[in-house]
Structure formats: C-alpha cells, structure tokens
Structure 1
Amino acid sequence: MSPRTLFRTLAFAEAVTWTLLLIGLVLKYVTGTTELGVRIGGGIHGFVFLCYASVAAFTWTNQKWRTGTGLLAIASAVIPYATVPVEKSLDRRGLLDGGWRLAEGGEAPKGALERVQAWVLRKPWLALGLALAGVAAVFSFLLFMGPPDTWFA
C-alpha cells in the first residue's frame, strides 16, 4: 500500500466516523432519545482519530513535509470533515506521491524518526501488531477517563 493510498483511506475513514459521532450527538442532545449513538460513534471515531493521526505523522516523515504541512494534516482531524479537503490539497500538490522511501532497498534512514519508520517498513506485521496494541492501549485509557467533558469537572 502506497503512502497516498494509506493516507487517503484514513482521511476518508476519519470523515465517516465524524458522521457517526455527529448523528450520535444529535440523538443525544437534540432529540434526547439515546446516548447509544455517542457511545458507539464516539468510540469508533476516537479509535479512527488515533489511527489517522498516526498515519498522518508516518506519512509526514516519509514525504518530508514541512512542519506546517504535517501539523495541518494532523490537526485537520479535530474539525469535522476537514481531513478530506486537506487530503485532496496534499494530493493535488503532489505531496502524497511516491512510495515508501525508507523501505527495503530504499534510502538509508537519517535520524531517530526515520530509523523507526525504516524498521516499521521492513517488519510491517510486527509493527502493525505493536501499533494496534499501542492505539488500543491509548484508546482504553481514554475510555477509562470517560467523555472529555468530564475530565476536569
């Protein structure tokens, strides 16, 4: 899977999960019918949000984006549906082109981030397992913390 395909897939998934969360919020706060939509939609959205942020950071490193571009890609997940126009803009400007430059037979990594990325690209199944475990751990911690509006109450 190319950087472009991976980034585009997660950007779209992030937008879809915003829809689930927003439907849940309407059901809870507008119609007052159920909190189930927020629990389910919010949980799925939170998980995909973390995955998207990870993929955006990974793509940022691979594509050697400027700091502002990388931060914009990650921050776009906070605004409903913003990942889609950001992805379209990055694609149109050629910032998603090419393959994994640090993959086997590619460039030699320079610096800690690139060494980690090169390892991930050379051991993708192990890295995927560790990444999913890490995202699941963060996700579980956030579920334990409860809804964000209760963190500082």
Structure 2
Amino acid sequence: MFHTPARLFRVLAIAEMVSWTILITGLILRATLGWALAVTIGGGIHGFVFLSYGATAILVALNNRWRLGVGILAVGSAVIPYATVPVERWLHRRGMLEGAWRIEEASDPADRRWYDGPMRWFLRRPWVLAVLLVAAIVVVYVVLVLIGPPVPHSD
C-alpha cells in the first residue's frame, strides 16, 4: 500500500484533512449541543493523526532530500485546517514526491549523510519502522494528553 513515499504522504495528508473535519465537527457539537465528549474524541483522533502526518512528512522529506524550508512547510501545513492536501498537490506538481524509498546506497555522495544508513536499514524493515514510529507517536501523544489541551476550555 505504501510502496512509494508519494503514496504514504498522500494517505496521511488526506487523513489529516479528515481528522480536522472530525475535530471541527466535535467543536460544533460542543458549542451547539453541549457534547464536550465530541471534542475529546475528535481532538484525540486529530492529535494522533497530526503527529502521524508530521512523522511521515519528516520521513519523506529525508528520503526525498527536500530542503529544510520545504520540510518545515510540509510539517507546518498540518497546523492550518485542510492545508495538507494542497501542500501534497504542490509537492506532487513540483516532482518532490517522485521516486522510491532509498533502501539501497547510491553512488551519489549525498546518499551518505549521517542518517542515511539507519534510514535505509529501517526502510528495508518497514514493519520495524512502523512499530517504532507508532510507539514514538503514542508516547508523544500520551505526554501531550497529560500536559493538557493547548487552550483550556471554560464552561
């Protein structure tokens, strides 16, 4: 399913857009019907997908050799509702999502950065990478839940 960086990035960009819809729906339900649980559920889903999208954007940025500004734009697009899909389309049009996962070292000296060896090792073992990324996302998510919402809600 995620044989290319473009496919993985697109799936997570769409998932982030859907999670914004779920969160906004929860906010509307809380404001109109007083269903605070809707925000708790929507916020939880959105938070997990937000972190997953960010991790994916970083992985694809490293794999596809994006400039730092492009990587920051991709990650930052998750902060603005519905911006991940237009950014994905922009990256696609510019050819920045083309290519395969870098699982083998190329003769290009740019393929010998400090992170390339470990990244190739993980990309050759996608289940190990997926489990570690999900574990890291869960840890960050739990820490953020324990810290509390970015803006406290006053009833």
- 1:79 aligned partner: 80
- 2:25 aligned partner: 23
Q: How does 1:140-151 map to 2 (within 5 A)?
A: 140-150=142-152
Divergent runs of 4+, >6 A? none
Superposition RMSD in Å = 1.4
TM-score, reference length from structure 2: 0.89
- Give, in angstroms, the shift of residue 49 of structure 1: 0.5
Indicate the percent of aligned positions where both proteins have the same amino acid: 48
Q: How does 1:1-150 map to 2 (within 5 A)?
A: 1-29=3-31, 31-101=32-102, 103=103, 105-107=104-106, 109-150=111-152
The amino acid across from 1:4 in the alignment is A
Distance 1:16 1:64 in 2: 28
- Give, in angstroms, the shift of residue 107 of structure 1: 2.6
Of 7-16 and 64-73, more deviation after overlay is shown by: 64-73
SS at match of 1:96: coil
TM-score, reference length from structure 1: 0.90
May I ask how many residue pairs the two structures share in their alignment? Answer: 147
Distance 1:144 1:128 in 2: 24
Distance 1:120 1:24 in 2: 37
Unaligned residue ranges in structure 1 (runs of 5+): none
Unaligned residue ranges in structure 2 (runs of 5+): none
